[in-house]
Amino acid sequence: MSWSKLKQQLESFLCPALNGRVEYRATGYRYLPDKAGLCYISVDKKDVLRMSDKTSSIRWYGTEMEVKNDSDIQIPISDEEMEAVRKDTKGAVPEDRLKVIARNRKISEYAKELLTAQASLSKSNFIVVANKFLSTSIEESIESNDILLNILVLVDRRMGKKRILNMSEKMKLKHPIVQYFYELRRSTF
């Protein structure tokens, strides 16, 4: 599918409040086949997400330690995760340390997922993910760990107010750019 048709289809799925505010753009280099070009998602004429560009205003992580040391990241710990740590340590660890250990384990997994998702952002990946979004169900797209798929779902007109509002806990574990689009969508209600 050509870029113009893909862009047209994606923009037809935008919720009415974001129509005209959110734009998908791409650059290509006709005479430089080794240059891949860039893909952008713009909000109010500002490039918010540039594929494979770390200079955007959204926080990009370079290492696992950056994710672990980011105080903005809120990781909820469940009782099951605490119990798993208790079993692993055979009860030899004080209760207050169990929560720290469980949080460190969960944030390590989270950091690996974030870095993997960031690494896959490129123009060609955008086109693949956009085609996947157009051919899969909303539920499947919501549950995905793919940053682009999450963004496309959040700005979709088929996502209702109730469903968006019920996602607040899930959004705490998503990449900052996904959280940005979640807040953008919530601001339209």
Task: Give the C-alpha separation, 100 to 143, whole Å.
Answer: 27
**Which pLDDT band, with edges at 50, 70 and 90, does 94 fall under?**
confident
Nearest to 159 by CA among 176, 181, 175: 181
Query: Can you tell me the distance from the alpha carbon of 178 to that of 167, in angstroms, rounded to the nearest whole number?
Result: 12
CA distances from 36 to 30, 67, 72 (A): 10, 29, 34
Name the phi and psi angles at 176, rounded to 5: -55, -35
Q: Are 130 and 10 in contact (CB under 8 A)?
A: yes
Q: Could you tell me which residues come within 8 angstroms of residue 15 by beta carbon, excluding any fewer than 6 positions away?
A: 155, 156, 157, 159, 185, 188
Of 186, 151, 160, 161, nearest to 24 (Cα)?
151
143 versus 70: the higher-pLDDT residue is 143
CA separation for the pair 180, 162 (Å, rounded): 18
Q: What's the whole-model pTM score? A: 0.65
Concatenating the DSSP letter of every residue in 79-122 gives HHHHHHHHHHTTT-S-HHHHHHHHHHHHHHHHHHHHHHHHHT-S
Q: How many CA atoms lie within 13 A of 19 on its CB side?
A: 10
For residue 29, the model assigns a pLDDT of: 60
Tens digit of each residue's pLDDT (9 = 90 or more) over 122-171: 555 777 888 888 898 888 888 888 888 888 999 999 888 899 999 888 88
Give start and end residues of each alpha helix (H) in 24-175. 64-69, 79-88, 95-119, 123-135, 138-143, 147-154, 161-165, 168-171
Average pLDDT of the chain to the nearest whole number: 79
**What tokens were used for 89?**
């340590």
Cα radius of gyration (the chain)? 19
Residue 13: its H or E element: none
Which comes out higher in pLDDT, residue 116 or 173?
173
